[in-house]
């Protein structure tokens, strides 16, 4: 009995030494169980600012934002490790020793060769969910039971896809106020309007890379500060605009 007790204690001890497994998880985590939503690029000279302000006709001006996106993508690239990288799909999720790739070719116009479209005054913003070890989304996969405040276009999209494709953490970006909605104009999401469920749960496997959604604002009105809110949709993502839970806010200003 004493030998068994010592063996159990040693197992627990060495488990805590695994750098890939955090000591606190989910409800015990200091950041809680509600993943936050982040965006890039962000203003670099003022940590409190959320204003993306640029001139599409001035390469020196917009290149600052392009370089910031490139730095973000480079720092977040897939690490070299023993994990086997594969092209995943809803019908072919990763196995225990595999991680899903994030292919930059899936981002359409939101690529470095096109300067992420800043020179066209149609900027791309990248969205990412914060990592919480062991967190698994609870999907809005029942088309007959969707939130009342979910945008109509997203509801229609969910109803027109297969049940397995509904296993997605959805993303919507909108103007915060009626005037902002009008000024913001149409939006395109790459590679899709959300984070596919096969990237979850996050288990800190070697080579893991969080999925990104590139949001292209096609025709925002220039010369006006436009307030934008992007929101993540899953049943276990709590949302509060006042507390910025489950969403992120920023402003666009194109000169």
Tell me the CATH number at 89: 2.60.40.1660
Domain-embedded: residue 6: no
Whether 46 is covered by a domain: the verdict is yes
Whether the link from the prior residue into 41 is cis, omega within 30° of 0, is yes
Note whether residue 4 is domain-resident: no
**Is residue 5 in a domain?**
no
> Is residue 72 in some structural domain?
yes
Write down the pLDDT at residue 204.
87
163 part of a folded domain = yes
What's the rounded Cα separation, in Å, for the pair 217 and 94?
32
Range of the domain at 223: 24-254
Domain annotation covers residue 136: yes
Total structural domains within the chain: 1
Edge-to-edge strand list for the sheet holding 213-217: 37-40, 124-129, 213-217, 187-190
Distance from C-alpha of 175 to C-alpha of 182, rounded to nearest angstrom: 8
Structural domain includes residue 181:
yes
pLDDT string in tens for the chain (255-residue length): 665 564 544 544 444 334 444 443 445 444 457 899 999 999 877 778 999 999 999 999 999 999 999 999 987 554 444 458 899 999 999 998 899 998 888 999 999 999 999 999 999 999 999 999 999 999 999 999 999 999 999 999 999 999 999 999 999 999 999 999 999 999 999 999 999 999 999 998 888 888 999 999 999 999 999 999 999 999 999 999 888 899 999 999 999
d(CA 129, CA 194): 10
């Amino acid at each position: 009995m004493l030998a068994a007790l010592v063996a159990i204690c040693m197992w627990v001890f060495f488990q805590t030494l695994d750098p890939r497994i955090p000591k606190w998880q989910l409800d015990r985590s200091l950041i809680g169980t509600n993943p936050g939503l982040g965006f890039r690029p962000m203003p670099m000279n003022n940590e409190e600012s959320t204003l993306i302000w640029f001139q599409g006709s001035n390469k020196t001006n917009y290149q600052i934002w392009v370089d910031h996106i490139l730095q973000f993508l480079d720092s977040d690239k897939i690490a070299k490790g023993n994990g086997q990288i594969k092209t995943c799909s809803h019908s072919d999720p990763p196995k225990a020793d595999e991680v899903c790739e994030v292919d930059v070719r899936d981002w359409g116009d939101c690529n470095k060769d096109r300067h992420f479209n800043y020179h066209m005054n149609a900027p791309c913003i990248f969205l990412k969910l914060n990592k919480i070890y062991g967190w698994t989304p609870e999907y809005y996969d029942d088309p007959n039971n969707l939130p009342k405040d979910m945008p109509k276009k997203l509801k229609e999209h969910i109803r027109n896809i297969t049940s397995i494709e509904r296993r997605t953490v959805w993303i919507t970006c909108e103007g915060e106020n009626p005037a902002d909605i009008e000024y913001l104009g149409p939006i395109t999401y790459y590679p899709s309007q959300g984070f596919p469920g096969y990237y979850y749960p996050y288990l800190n496997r070697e080579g893991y890379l969080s999925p990104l959604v590139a949001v292209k604002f096609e025709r925002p009105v220039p010369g006006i500060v436009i307030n934008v809110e992007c929101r993540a949709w899953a049943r276990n993502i709590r949302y509060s605009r006042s507390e910025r839970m489950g969403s992120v806010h920023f402003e666009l200003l194109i000169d």
